Amino acid sequence: MKRHLLYAGLLWIILTAIGEYAAFNAKFFTAGAAAEAVIVDDAFRLLMLLGTPVFTFVLAGLVYSVLAFRARSESIEDGPPIRSSRTVTWLWLVITSGLAIFIFFNPGVKGLNELNANPNADLVVQVQARKWAWKLTYPEYNVTIEDASELVLPVNRRVKFEITSADVIHAFWVPAFRMKIDAMPGQTNVLYITPNQLSASSQNDFNLRVQCAELCGTGHARMRAQVRVVEQSEFEAWLAGQ
Ligand SMILES: [Cu+2]
């Protein structure tokens, strides 16, 4: 028994080392383009780091048991019954509950607070989704764009998006900003985003575009608008031209 625990434990440590190395170093996504993206990416990485030892614990137990306790050809009898261990049960309960409670507060409550607590914004953009287009309004500038082909934003300004829908449930999503929220009829959902990188001049970046992320009918996949992040002066010039 001691020997089995030792081997399974070693397997757990090795798998955990490999998993943590990957979780630390893997590039899960392409580069973010908003201040909020850092918070989301850090949260994702923390969850990977915390989840890896739990995953490899189960994997090590499973893989080791399959190899060490497999039926030998000369025996088709059941193995000896497994008795539960109170210690193991309690340890499992306490450790995994502790982890769940920890991530509820960090990155859960802490991260949401960082994203949403500050109600100040430099710019408001109202977004109305419908089948199958985005209508964008800059209320402070009296500019409305029906069927927007692009969303133009000033760099390093905190933008408050007020998102709703004219018909069914859609979802506002910009991958490079890491932010996504449902667009629902009769309700306004709010997202704060601070783009912190100018868009490259080459367009058609599928990471940097508004994409509907809630299946809403035949035009769903085409329901998108390129995001263009520009300097404040260029932004104002663009507004004036609308
Ligand atoms: Cu949609």
Please count the structural domains in the chain.
2
At 144 the pLDDT is 96
Asked if 131 and 161 sit in the same domain, the reply is yes
Asked if residue 130 lies in contact with residue 166, where contact means CB atoms within 8 angstroms, the answer is yes
Phi and psi angles of residue 14, each rounded to the nearest 5 degrees, phi first: -65, -45
Residue with tokens 């991260």: 111
Beta bridge partners of 192: 160
At 185 the pLDDT is 97
At 26 the pLDDT is 86
**Per-residue pLDDT in tens (0 to 9) along the chain, 242 residues:** 789 999 999 999 999 999 999 999 988 888 899 999 999 999 999 999 999 999 999 999 999 999 998 877 776 777 778 788 899 899 999 999 999 999 999 999 999 999 998 899 999 999 999 999 999 999 999 999 999 999 999 999 999 999 999 999 999 999 999 999 999 999 999 999 999 999 876 667 889 999 999 999 999 999 999 999 999 999 999 999 98
Rounded distance from Cα 150 to ligand 1 centre (Å): 16
Rounded distance from Cα 220 to ligand 1 centre (Å): 5
In CATH, what number is assigned to the domain containing residue 217? 2.60.40.420
Neighbours of ion ligand 1 (CB under 5 A): 170, 212, 216, 223
Asked if 105 and 196 sit in the same domain, the reply is no
- Integer Cα distance of 225 and 144 in angstroms: 15
Rounded distance from Cα 132 to ligand 1 centre (Å): 6
> Is residue 99 in a domain?
yes
> Would residue 44 be called left, alpha or beta, if left means φ above 0 and alpha means ψ between -120 and 50 degrees?
alpha
Q: What share of the chain is helix, strand, coil (3-state, %, to 5)?
A: 45, 25, 30
- Integer Cα distance of 18 and 199 in angstroms: 36
Beta bridge partners of 160: 124, 192
Which structure tokens are listed for 76?
């088709």
Rounded distance from Cα 80 to ligand 1 centre (Å): 56
At 78 the pLDDT is 75
The domain containing residue 44 runs over which residues? 2-68+87-116
Which of 211, 162, 151, 214 shows the shortest CA–CA distance to 187? 162
